[in-house]
Amino acid sequence: MENTYMDRKEKPFACDVCCKSFSLKSNLITHLVTHTKEKPFTCDVCSKAFSIKANLKMHLRTHTDEKPFVCEVCTKAFSLKSSLDRHLRTHTKEKPFACDVCAKRFSEKSDLKKHFRRHTKEKRFECNACGKAFSVKSNLMMHLRTHMKEKPFTCELCNKAFIRKSDFERHSRIHTKEKRFACDVCTKRFSEKSDLKRHLLTHTKEKPFSCDVCTKAFSQKSYLKSHLVTHMNEKPYACDICNKTFSWLKCLKSHLRAHTEKEPIGLQQHLESTFTDSYEEATESMPHLL
C-alpha cells in the first residue's frame, strides 16, 4: 500500500507568504490566518474572537468552568492541557528550556524569552510618560504605577501601601517575623534572599567586589564603596559642633560621643539630626558612590 504524506513526512503544502510547509492542507489553511489576522470564530458569551476554532473551544471552558485535565500528583484541575503540562513541571522540577548564551534553564518558555532579553539588551516596552524602556512588559506595568501614584498592595496591619507585590510581601515579613531563607551550611535563617546571599559569602570567603585602584577585594558592594573614599581623600561626614570631618559615618558617630559625654545634649536627638544632614551632604557630593 502506498504511504501517505504523513508517513513519508512530506510537506507539499507551502505558504505563499513565508514559505513554511505543511503535510496537511488543513494545517496550511489554519496557518494562513496568522498572516491575514482574521478571527472568524467569536465567543457568544464575551465576544472575544479567535483565528482558530480549537482556541475558541478552549476559551469557552473559562465560562463553563470545565476543567477536564487533572494532575495525578495533587488532583489540581485545569481547563487547558498546556496549563496541566506547565503545572506538572512544578512537581518534576523539569526545566526543558535552556539559554543558548549562558546555559541557564527554565521551566517556562516565556521565562526563557524574558531572560534572553538580558543578553540582547532589548527593551521593547516603553513608557509613554517618560520614555523609559523595559525588557519585560510586567516591569513596564509596575513602572506606570509610579506615574499614576497607584499603590494597590496595602498592609492590613499598618496600612502601608506598595506599588509592587514583591515589596509588599517583603514588608509583611516584618510583621510575621518569617525567615524562610535558610543557610545550608550553618542553618541560620533570613527573611530576605539577598541577605542569605550576602551571608553565604562568609562561608565561601568569596570577595567579588574589587577596588580598581589597589585591587583590594570585598565580600559586599557597600564595603567597597566605603573603601573607595580612602583613595579620594574625601571626608563627607562633618561634626556640626567642631567641624571636624570624617571619611566614614561610623567614625563621626564615635567622635560625636566624645562631645555628648561633655555637653548636656540629648544624644539620640543630636545624633539623628547630625547623621541626617551629613548623609544628605555626602550623597550630594558623591553621587558616583551611590
Q: What is the DSSP string of 159-202?
A: --EESSHHHHHHHHHHHH----EE-TTT--EESSHHHHHHHHHH
Taking each helix axis from N to C end, the angle separating 267-285 and 249-262, rounded to the nearest 10 degrees, works out to 150
User: What angle (nearest 5°) sits at the alpha carbon of residue 237, between those of residues 235 and 241?
Assistant: 120
pLDDT at 70: 93
pLDDT at 262: 57
- Per-residue pLDDT of the chain in tens (290 residues, 90 and over written 9): 444 434 446 888 898 888 888 888 888 888 888 888 888 889 998 999 988 888 888 888 888 888 889 999 999 998 888 889 989 988 998 999 999 988 889 988 888 888 888 888 888 889 998 989 988 888 888 888 888 888 888 999 999 999 888 888 888 888 988 888 899 899 899 888 888 888 888 888 888 888 888 888 888 888 888 788 777 777 888 898 898 888 778 888 888 888 876 554 444 454 445 444 544 444 444 444 44
Place of cell 488532583: 75
Phi, psi of 261 (to 5 degrees): -75, -25
pLDDT at 4: 42
Q: Cα–Cα distance between 14 and 28 in angstroms, integer?
A: 7
pTM over cut 0.75: no
pLDDT at 155: 92
pLDDT at 265: 43
Q: Cα–Cα distance between 24 and 17 in angstroms, integer?
A: 17
